[in-house]
């Protein structure tokens, strides 16, 4: 069971690293896709390999990577309609176009 938890944690870490440098909405889609893919992959890998930790780890890694890519691909970025400034003077988007 501990090896499965390590596998899921590694898959989530991989999903988080894949979601860098994107919009907040895309990061959320990538993270959720990676987490769901890793969990599903770990369960399927464990079931296919008759409960071996290696199968669960391989399934989690493959499922996490695939889920992160799919989650990123299906999440459409929002386009900024109006800009404003935050309290530190940084330019931020305050209104978005509906896609």
User: pLDDT digit of tens for each residue in the chain (99 aa)?
Assistant: 677 777 777 766 666 665 555 556 666 777 888 888 888 888 888 888 887 888 888 888 888 888 888 887 777 666 788 889 989 888 888 887 765
pTM above 0.85, yes or no: no
The residue among 59, 81, 83, 68 whose CA lies nearest residue 28 is 68
Query: CA-CA distance, 26 to 99, in Å (whole number)?
Result: 14
* Rg (alpha carbons) of the chain, rounded to whole number: 17
The string of DSSP codes covering 47-72 is: HHTTT-HHHHHHHHHHHHHHHHHHHH
């Amino acid at each position: 069971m501990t090896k499965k938890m390590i596998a899921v944690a590694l898959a989530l870490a991989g999903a988080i690293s894949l979601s860098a440098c994107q919009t907040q909405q895309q990061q959320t889609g990538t993270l959720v896709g990676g987490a769901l893919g890793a969990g599903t992959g770990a369960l399927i890998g464990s079931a296919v390999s008759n409960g071996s930790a290696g199968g669960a780890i391989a399934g989690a890694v493959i499922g996490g990577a695939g889920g992160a890519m799919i989650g990123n691909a299906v999440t459409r970025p929002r386009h900024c309609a109006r800009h404003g400034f935050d309290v530190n003077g940084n330019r931020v988007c305050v209104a978005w176009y509906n896609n």
